[in-house]
Every structure is written in C-alpha cells, then in structure tokens.
Amino acid sequence: MKRRVGVLISGRGSNLGALIRAAAAPDFPASVALVVSNEPAAAGLALAAAAGIPTRTLPHRPHGRDRAAHEQAIQDTLEAHAIELVCLAGYMRRLTPFLVERWAGRMLNIHPSLLPAFPGLDTHARALAAGVALHGCTVHLVTAELDSGPILAQAAVPVLPGDSESELAARVLAQEHLLYPAALRAHIEDRAMRPAPGASLANPLPQLRSEP
Ligand code: GAR
C-alpha cells in the first residue's frame, strides 16, 4: 500500500511536480493524495489539479496573527484526507510547534542549501557572496527550529566561476527534483541515504543523475 502524502506549497510547485512524477511509478512507496497551498495564486495548485490530485487553498491572512488557527485548519484538512506523511515543497511559511509536533518524524522539507549552511531565505545569493565552492540542497525532517531538523539527504553542485544567482539556482533546483523523491522513498523504506562508496574527497556529496 502506498503511503498517503500531503504536499504543502506556496508557489511554483516544481518540487511538487517532481514528487507527482515519481509517485506515478507503481513501485514508488507513496502517492500524492492532497496538495495544500496557503497562497491562492500558487501555480502548483493547477499542476496538482491537472494530475487529478485534490487541492485545498488555506490562506493564512484571514487568521491574522493566530498561527494556531491557520495550522488547525491545515491539520483538519490533512486528517480529512487520511494523510500519513507531509512534504513541504516551497511552503514559505514558518510552522509552529502546534503542527510540527503532531507530525514529528513524518514531515519533510526541502531546502536549497547544504544545511546547516544558509538556512532561511536568499540561499543562492548568500552562497555566492560567501564564495563557497560547493552548494546544493537538503531534505530534512521538520522540527520547530527553522531549517534545522535531522538531515535525511543532501546533493551538492559546484559553484562555477562567474555564476549568476539564477544559474546557480537552476543547477540546485535540478538536484532538488531528483533528491526529494529519492529521500522520501528512502525515509519510507527506512534506508539512510549516504554518499556512494568511493565518492571522491574533492566532492564527497553525490550529485544525482536522472534515469536514462
Ligand atoms: C525550492 O527551491 C525549495 O527548495 C525552496 O523554495 C523553492 C520552491 O520551488 N524552499 C525553501 O526555500 C524553504 N526554506 P518550487 O515551488 O518550484 O518547488
């Protein structure tokens, strides 16, 4: 039986798309059973609807500062759809312990940096400003502290001379789309993701490759 995954988004939804494509494989251990957006205009909602996945828009603004009320609405929706695991995929709102603790060990996030480097926003610009040679993305379990839960998987990319922010972001995003489904699968199947034996010391983190 595939595990029922709920995906929370706020925007474009390209990682959602990667999860939907991966979940279409009969042997993938999860199905995307619900997509929730806090932003009514999120492009990812149309992507999900086109794939026949139920969508819900739960805007946070009507709740003002009452984060618990908004998170209760999310929780009620997840329960109504019998969701077993939650994937944050570009969900750009901080969650409080109210929701995080209910999903401890069952809520994943993808972040566009090699955590613990560059938590928060503008990761690509900050990586360029810091002059790092390697950048990448991380899938981690969500805890109450922002972008700091246990790391499940990472993929690295080189920072090339003259990279613009958008060039670096695109290189990282291509890895995100491979990493998130792989990390979700490994988490469900209870397999740790580790660099392949023999990975070179110069670039010890794996770069994932698309299936041929
Ligand atoms: C992705 O790069 C994701 O890693 C990032 O937002 C983007 C969403 O793109 N998430 C965060 O920064 C969370 N801290 P998408 O909507 O196309 O998947």
Q: What confidence tens digit (pLDDT) does each residue in 21-67 have?
A: 999 999 999 999 999 999 999 999 999 999 999 999 999 999 999 99
- The pLDDT-based confidence of 207 (bands split at 50, 70, 90) is low
pTM confidence score: 0.93
Which residue in 172, 90, 176 sits closest to 139, CA to CA? 176
List, in order, residues 6 or more apart from 134 with CB less than 8 Å away.
114, 156, 157, 158, 159, 203, 205
Atom of ligand 1 lying closest to residue 92 CA = 13
Active site residues: 111
- The pLDDT-based confidence of 191 (bands split at 50, 70, 90) is confident
**Tokens encoding 177:** 């789309």
Q: How far is the CA of 112 from the centre of ligand 1 (A)?
A: 7
Please, how many CA atoms are within 13 Å of residue 60, restricted to the half-sphere of its CB?
17
Please give the pLDDT value at position 104: 96
Mutate to test the pocket of ligand 1, among 12, 91, 177 (most ligand atoms within 8 A of CB): 12
Using DSSP, state whether 103 is helix, strand or coil: helix
